[in-house]
Structures are given as C-alpha cells and as structure tokens.
Structure 1
Amino acid sequence: MSWHTGRLAGFDLETTGVDVEEDRIVTACVVQCGGGQPTQSATWLADPGIDIPEQAAAVHGITTEQARAEGRPAPEVIEQVTAMLVDTVEAGIPVVIMNASYDLTLLDREARRHGVLPLTDMVNEGLIVLDPRVIDKQISRRKGGRTLADLCRHYEVRLDGAHSSDADAIAACRVVWRIADTTARIRETPLAQLHAQQIEWAAAQGRSLAAYFRRTPGKEAWADGVREEWPLVPHQREDAS
C-alpha cells in the first residue's frame, strides 16, 4: 500500500510579507486528511505585533485592525502551531507544505523571536515534508507558472478560497495525493527517501533558477536572493562571525 493512501497533514501560513527573516504570521492552518478518516482542521488568527501592509491584506483579507481586534497573541499562536506540528510528526504523518522553505523558515524565525522552541529542535530528523512545488518541478518540464493555483489547475484539483491558510493547506494535500496517484515513481518511493530526494531536487532547482537570472538582462541581481536550502533555511546565529 502506498503512503498516499494514508494520512496526510497540510500546513500553511498567511503572513505580513515575503521576507522570512522579518515578516510575521497572520493566519495558520494545520489540517489532517485522508487515510479513511474524517478531515480535521485547526486554524489560528494572530495579532502579528506589527502593521499588516495593504498589499498583504489584499491577498489574504486580514487587516491590521482585524488582527488586533480578533487575533490571539503571536507567542501563543506560534507555540500552539508548533505543538500541533510536533504531534503530527510524532504520529508519523508526513507534512505537506507548498513552498516549504518559506513557511517552515518563517515559523522557525517566529519561534525564535517569541522564545518558543523551534519545530526542528523538537523533532530532529523525524520531520517528513512533501512539497508539491518541488515534486512537480522535478517530474514535469512543462512551461508556465507553478503557484498553488497553477498546480491545482494542472492536476485538476479543487481550490476553495485561495490565499486563506486552510484552503491552501487542504489544496496542497490534494495536489500531492494526485501527483502520487498518477506518478508511480513518486508513490512507490518510501517517505524518508522522498524527503531526502526533495533536498537534492530543491537545491538543483535553486541553482537552475539562479543561473537563469544571471543570464537574463535586468534580472542578474535576483540570483543572489535564490536559496537552495530545503525544507528550511538554517538560522544564522546573531553572534556568528
């Protein structure tokens, strides 16, 4: 029996921006689905402690005023999200994360900011991540975008309410399930091996993207911002030389 017929957990964040070192979590979702069991979803709205830029609010629909009025304190949210992910990992459930190096890195930095023990410090090598973006780029050489909405269209997966953390988390799980269901080499690869392969694939994809930027007029400087680490950009100690 393939791993894709078992339980999957989706994780997604909506945030104040795209800088994993400086931006903050606004909403989070951890959802479990599949495996012949009912879908279970937990969502959080946080007061990020900073203003939410209009551009970010236009994407996920949460304004600064709403977050301050209805959101829970950021440290509480970070602690609870991390704890739920720890429980998921310890239950042996793979975590599906679209563009994992963004969400996991931002969660890591938020944990450190608020004095919460980071997820990777708690689960060590137990974390198994499935990233539909990385997997799709490896198995398909087609042209065009690879956002979650793009992948949902390509794999004929329903996306209900894009750019809300709960909708995106469940859609990412559906995409991974569809990829595995239609691609034998993915579904037949043991999860630990597939996780390790994604580390290599993501690094190669990063190198390819950086090379593309370097040879494209007007985009040369973008190459310096491409990171190859996956599923988490390691934290750099502030006192490091």
Structure 2
Amino acid sequence: MTDQGVELELEGVTVETVISAAAAAAGWSQALGVFDLETTGVDTATARIVTAHVGVIDENGAVVERKDWIVDPGIAIPDGAARVHGITTERARRFGRSPFEVVPEILAAIRSVFERGFPLVIYNAPYDLTLLAAEAARVGVPALELPAPIVDPLVLDKAVDRYRKGKRTLEAAAAAYGVPLLDAHDAGADAIAAGRLAQAIAGRYADDLDLSAAELHEQQVAWCREQTARFEEYMQRTHDPAFTASGAWPCR
C-alpha cells in the first residue's frame, strides 16, 4: 500500500503455488480484475473508505496493473478499525486525499476493468460494492450500474466446499487453498490474494466452475441466496427466531 495514489504499473510478481492449476481451468479465471476497500467500520450505510485498491492479475496470478489510494474520510477513524488496517486518523489526514477526488477515480478504474472484458474479483462483494455505492451517493457521482461480471471467492468457496469446517475469512480461505497472504487487511494485499484465491478455486474445481463469466455471475446470485437462507435458518433455530439476513448479491 502506498501513501499516494499511483498510476497503473507493472509489478512483475510470479506465484509458484496451486494457482498454476488455473491454466487448465475455465476461461474466466485467466485474467482478473481485483478490488478491495479498507474502511472506518462495518455498516455499509455509514462507513467511509480509508484505503482502496483496483488491479489486474494475469493467468499466473502476477500483478500487471495496480492503483492504490489512501483517503481522508472526513471523520475520525475508530481505534478498532485503525488496529485492523493500520491507518490512523492522523495518517489519513496527512497522506490521504478527499473522497470527492478519490471515489470517482475508484469508479473509473473499476469501469476500465469491465470495459476490457475482465471479471472483477471481490471477496464478500456485497460489502465493498454496497459501501462504494453509498460513497458515490455521498460525493454526488453515479454509482456502478449493475456491476458484472463479479467473482466472489467467498461465495465460490462455500458452494464448492460446503462442509469444510472452520472460518470463511479471506485469511482462512487463502490458507485452505495454499494462496499466500502476507499483509492481511492491506487493501492491495487482500485484493490480490482474493484474485489468486479465485484462480486456485477455479483450478481445483474446474469441472464445477466450467462456466462463462456471465454464467458464473448468475450462478453466484443463486448460490448466495441459498447460502444466506441456510444461515438464516441456522440462526433462527439456534439463536434468534426473528433473525433475518439479506441474500442479495453482489450489491445490497
């Protein structure tokens, strides 16, 4: 993560892991856009962007384009959030730019990914896309309109390996598929790891995921709805009979 936004650049990273299996996987995994946000909180209606990353990885998981931002969100960054991603209020004010400048740049970078035909990987897509839409409204610019195709490794992993025990965080999923994640909760590190994770899943479950990017997007809509319904039933049965959750994907 850099302290200032940087232009798209070559990074020359190669990954000698299970990602190499993606070469035999479905075509959607051959080159991917990647996106992640680090923020002030968990409520997508009120949280603000602190850092962001949009990039592109090739068929081997190497980073071929990237852009990183740090934002002064205009509000204090809670200590808990700062402990997670490492950006304090003071650091954001010193090095960050206004969301009125940065949010349009993030949206333009994502649109460029789609315009070039790359799917966009976002781990737990409804969080990032819903929050980004709220930020777009806040700064008065058009949000992404029906963003697609999206690849969400959280949804994929739950679909192809439904009964694996343990957490389904990015860190846990990356470890399960042998994907390095060296700096968790850095927007760039998380976005790139999520892209490589999507490729690893595509390689391991090539037959299950032998779909076009558009078909995979629609399949994830159904998978997320089913996964949420199972979670809702579990919570109602074990914790709170009135519990409800949204199964909308990729935006809520």
Provide TM-score, normalisation by structure 2: 0.86
Among 15, 27, 31, the alignment partner of 2:51 is 27
Aligned to 2:210: 188
Is this contact kept in 1: 2:55–2:63, CA < 8 A? no
Is this contact kept in 2: 1:135–1:198, CA < 8 A? yes
Aligned to 2:128: 103
Is this contact kept in 2: 1:24–1:110, CA < 8 A? yes
Q: Distance in 2 between matches of 1:195 and 1:78?
A: 25
Alignment of 1:96-175 (within 5 A): 96-120=121-145, 124=146, 127-140=148-161, 141-175=163-197
1:129-177 residue CA offsets vs partner (Å, 9 max, x unmatched): 0000000001112111100000011001000200000000000011100
Aligned to 2:251: 232
Gap change, CA 1:13 and 1:30, over 3 Å in 2: same
Letter in 1 for 2:219: Q
Post-superposition offset of 1:5? 5.1
Is this contact kept in 1: 2:130–2:251, CA < 8 A? yes
Aligned to 1:198: 220
Alignment of 1:54-73 (within 5 A): 54-73=79-98
Q: Distance in 2 between matches of 1:46 and 1:154?
A: 32
Would you say 1:3 and 2:27 are equivalent positions? yes
Post-superposition offset of 1:50? 0.8
Aligned to 1:215: 237
Q: Distance in 1 between matches of 2:132 and 2:224?
A: 19
Q: Distance in 2 between matches of 1:38 and 1:158?
A: 14
Higher-helix-fraction structure: 1
Ranges of 4+ aligned residues in structure 1 off by more than 4 Å: none
| Aligned residues between the structures | 226
Gap change, CA 1:75 and 1:184, over 3 Å in 2: same
Would you say 1:93 and 2:118 are equivalent positions? yes
Letter in 1 for 2:152: D
Q: Distance in 1 between matches of 2:29 and 2:187?
A: 23
SS in 1 for 2:32: strand
Post-superposition offset of 1:186? 4.1
Q: Distance in 1 between matches of 2:158 and 2:63?
A: 30
Gap change, CA 1:187 and 1:207, over 3 Å in 2: closer
Gap change, CA 1:216 and 1:13, over 3 Å in 2: same
Q: Distance in 1 between matches of 2:119 and 2:28?
A: 10
Q: Distance in 1 between matches of 2:101 and 2:208?
A: 37
Provide TM-score, normalisation by structure 1: 0.90
Gap change, CA 1:132 and 1:17, over 3 Å in 2: same
SS in 1 for 2:250: coil
Gap change, CA 1:139 and 1:72, over 3 Å in 2: same
Q: Distance in 1 between matches of 2:48 and 2:207?
A: 37
Is this contact kept in 2: 1:15–1:25, CA < 8 A? yes
